[in-house]
Amino acid sequence: MSNKNLPPLEIDPSLSAKENLLRLINRDNGTSATISQITFQSPLEYDDPWDKNNRNTSVTVTGLPTSEYPGSYTFKYWRQSLHRIAEEFVVDMDELDRQEIPNDTIEDIHAYVCSQLKLIPDEVYISATEIPEFDWENPVHEMYLTANLLSYTYTRSIKLVLVRDTRIDLDDIFGPGGDGVIVDPDLGRTYYRDWETDRKSVV
What is the band of 54 on the pLDDT scale with cuts at 50, 70, 90?
confident
Rounded to two decimals, the pTM is 0.77
What is the band of 176 on the pLDDT scale with cuts at 50, 70, 90?
low
Helix (H, G, I), strand (E, B) or coil at 84: helix
| Rounded Cα gap, residues 60 and 86, in angstroms | 29
Q: What is the pLDDT of residue 8?
A: 83
Q: What is the pLDDT of residue 202?
A: 43
For residue 62, how far is the Cα from the chain centroid? Answer: 31
* Cα distance between the two ends of the chain: 61
The answer, yes or no, to whether residue 199 has pLDDT greater than 80, is no
For residue 187, how far is the Cα from the chain centroid? Answer: 36
In angstroms, what CA-CA distances link 99 with 90, 102, 104? 16, 9, 14
Arithmetic mean of pLDDT, 22-45:
95
Give the pLDDT confidence of 96-132 residue by residue, as tens digits: 999 999 999 999 999 999 999 999 999 999 999 999 9
Arithmetic mean of pLDDT, 164-186:
58
In angstroms, what CA-CA distances link 110 with 42, 52, 90, 105? 24, 35, 13, 9
**74 in Cβ contact with 58 (< 8 Å):** yes
The answer, yes or no, to whether residue 200 has pLDDT greater than 70, is no
- C-alpha dihedral sign at 11, 13, 15, 17: positive
